[in-house]
């Protein structure tokens, strides 16, 4: 078979995706496979078996990242890497992350069954805890690997029940032996659903983002004074939840206030003691700010912080703010991005140069080696929800684009 004609098996890709979607399946058709949960373990076990089936050399590192290595003709050359993540949001979708891992696996199965030998080795990666939903922040597996985050800091992160990241990694049996640190990599590809409405709106099947926006995460803690809601007069209350409510609306208004390309969201809140007849005395909420312009996001945050302090003082609710996580915006390698567009053209897939508003492990990989991503449309632009969906034809097209991108890079000397 002509290498040019090589294409993935779309049906096999679909079956792998459907099999994985059973692990942590939710009644609404989504997936609940939080990082380092029992469901995560089950998905990993199956993934490792599939890697072994095609004779990949499997390594698990001390952050639980899973790698499968396929030999090259010149095996000492730095490998081409491709991957994504298998954890999901709480009641998330069946495509986020897993499509990039199964898409890469499908590309490697295709090479395997056609006995294609490439010049460079190829490594498939499943990065631990990309979502950052159970253990904040996001992208910690790739972040530690890239040297941007400290391993022990990641180990000490806790979930809402106080479980430590490291203890959970041990519990599910995925604290591996290999050191989690960067090695020479020729280039990195990540195949993913778009998670937004642009490709569908433009009628394009393949997207090649020029890069990823910056991501800034904050944790805000407020203290109030608890009391009986009935006898306590409205004047003089220190209601931590009311202070948070005012702050949350400031976050929502921030993009309009500062202009430019910026989004700001409060997605998580804990209220204590969370009883309808007690004035709340403790609130924690998160803030997520994203923009292509790092400075713009930082200046916007400064305005917000001043507002938060004013509200906290006026309401007599002491505030503590943690600047939890910042990843700078990631402009991808222009040559690789163009390669994705050219391959899509060549394969007859209408394509679009765009921006990623979602975070990906590719942000950290971009700090290590030339990086690019391949996007396929999200139906209705919906993601991080159970109804997240992508047409199987589009999944196949993205995997074919990935296959050829990986093959071209793996032939480079």
Residues of this chain that interact with Mn ion (CB under 5 A) are: 96-97
Q: How far is the CB of 131 from ligand GLV (least distance, A)?
A: 5
Binding partner of 307, given Mn ion, ligand GLV, none, CB within 5-8 angstroms per partner class: none
Q: Does 359 bind ligand GLV (CB under 6 A)?
A: yes
Residue (86 or 297) nearer to Mn ion, CB: 86
Residue (64 or 359) nearer to ligand GLV, CB: 359
Dihedrals phi, psi of 220, to nearest 5 degrees = -115, 130
Residue (138 or 340) nearer to ligand GLV, CB: 138
Binding partner of 359, given ligand GLV, Mn ion, none, CB within 5-8 angstroms per partner class: ligand GLV
**Burial of 106 (C-beta count, 10 Å sphere; 0-12/13-18/19+):** buried
Binding partner of 81, given ligand GLV, Mn ion, none, CB within 5-8 angstroms per partner class: none
N residues, the chain: 413
Residue (96 or 281) nearer to Mn ion, CB: 96
User: Biggest alpha carbon distance in the chain?
Assistant: 82
Helix, strand or coil for residue 353? strand
Q: Does 83 bind ligand GLV (CB under 6 A)?
A: no
**Beta carbons of 8 and 107 less than 8 angstroms apart:** yes
Exactly one of 40, 131, 386, 388 binds ligand GLV (CB under 6 A); that residue is 131
Q: Does 138 bind ligand GLV (CB under 6 A)?
A: yes
Residue (96 or 166) nearer to Mn ion, CB: 96
* Residue from 163, 269, 151 nearest 219 by CA: 269
Q: Total residues contacting ligand GLV (rule CB under 6 A)?
A: 4
Rounded Cα–Cα distance for residues 14 and 399 (Å): 11
Rounded Cα–Cα distance for residues 360 and 137 (Å): 12
Q: For residue 61, what is the DSSP state? A: B
Binding mask 329-358 for ligand GLV (x = CB under 6 A): -----------------------------x
Rounded Cα–Cα distance for residues 336 and 245 (Å): 44
Rounded Cα–Cα distance for residues 163 and 289 (Å): 27
Q: How far is the CB of 277 from Mn ion (least distance, A)?
A: 37
Q: How far is the CB of 378 from ligand GLV (least distance, A)?
A: 13
Q: How far is the CB of 164 from ligand GLV (least distance, A)?
A: 22
Q: How far is the CB of 92 from ligand GLV (least distance, A)?
A: 9
Rounded Cα–Cα distance for residues 174 and 67 (Å): 12
Binding partner of 138, given ligand GLV, Mn ion, none, CB within 5-8 angstroms per partner class: ligand GLV
Dihedrals phi, psi of 41, to nearest 5 degrees = -60, -45
Q: Give the footprint of ligand GLV on residues 281-300 (CB under 6 A).
A: none
**Beta carbons of 371 and 362 less than 8 angstroms apart:** yes
Could you tell me whether strands 371-376 and 262-265 are parallel, antiparallel, or unpaired per DSSP bridges? unpaired
Point out which residues bind ligand GLV (CB under 6 A).
131, 138, 358-359
């Amino acid at each position: 078979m002509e290498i040019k004609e090589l294409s993935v098996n779309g049906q096999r890709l679909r079956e792998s995706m459907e099999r994985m979607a059973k692990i942590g399946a939710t009644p609404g058709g989504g997936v609940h496979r939080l990082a380092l949960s029992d469901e995560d373990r089950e998905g990993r076990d199956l993934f490792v078996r599939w890697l072994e089936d095609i004779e990949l050399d499997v390594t698990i590192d001390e952050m639980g990242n899973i790698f499968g290595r396929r030999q090259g003709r010149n095996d000492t050359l730095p490998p081409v890497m491709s991957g994504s993540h298998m954890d999901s949001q709480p009641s998330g979708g069946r495509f986020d992350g897993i499509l990039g891992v199964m898409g890469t696996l499908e590309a490697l199965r295709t090479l395997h069954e056609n006995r294609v030998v490439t010049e460079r080795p190829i490594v498939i990666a499943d990065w631990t805890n990309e979502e950052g939903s159970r253990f904040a922040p996001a992208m910690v597996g790739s972040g530690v690997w890239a040297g941007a985050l400290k391993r022990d800091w990641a180990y000490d992160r806790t979930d809402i029940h106080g479980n430590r990241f490291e203890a959970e990694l041990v519990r599910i049996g995925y604290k591996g032996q290999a050191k989690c640190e960067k090695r020479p990599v020729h280039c990195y590809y990540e195949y993913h659903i778009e998670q937004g409405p642009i490709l569908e709106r433009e009628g394009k099947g393949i997207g090649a983002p020029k890069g990823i926006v910056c991501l800034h995460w904050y944790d805000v803690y407020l203290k109030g004074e608890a009391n009986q809601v009935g006898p306590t007069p409205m004047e003089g209350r220190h209601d931590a939840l009311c202070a948070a409510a005012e702050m949350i609306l400031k976050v929502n208004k921030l993009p309009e206030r500062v202009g430019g390309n910026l989004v700001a969201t409060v997605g998580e809140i804990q209220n204590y003691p969370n009883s309808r007849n007690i004035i709340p005395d403790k609130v924690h909420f998160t803030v997520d700010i994203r923009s292509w312009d790092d400075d713009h996001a930082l200046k916007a945050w400064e305005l917000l912080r001043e507002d938060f302090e004013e509200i906290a003082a006026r309401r007599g609710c002491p505030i503590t703010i943690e600047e939890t996580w910042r990843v700078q915006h990631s402009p991808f390698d222009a040559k690789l991005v163009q390669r994705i567009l050219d391959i899509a053209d060549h394969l007859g897939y209408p394509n679009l140069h765009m921006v990623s508003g979602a975070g990906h492990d590719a942000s950290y990989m971009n700090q290590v080696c030339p990086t690019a991503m391949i996007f396929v449309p999200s139906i209705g632009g919906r993601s991080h929800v159970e109804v997240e969906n992508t047409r199987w034809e589009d999944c196949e097209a993205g995997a074919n684009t990935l296959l050829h991108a990986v093959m071209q890079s793996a032939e480079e000397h």
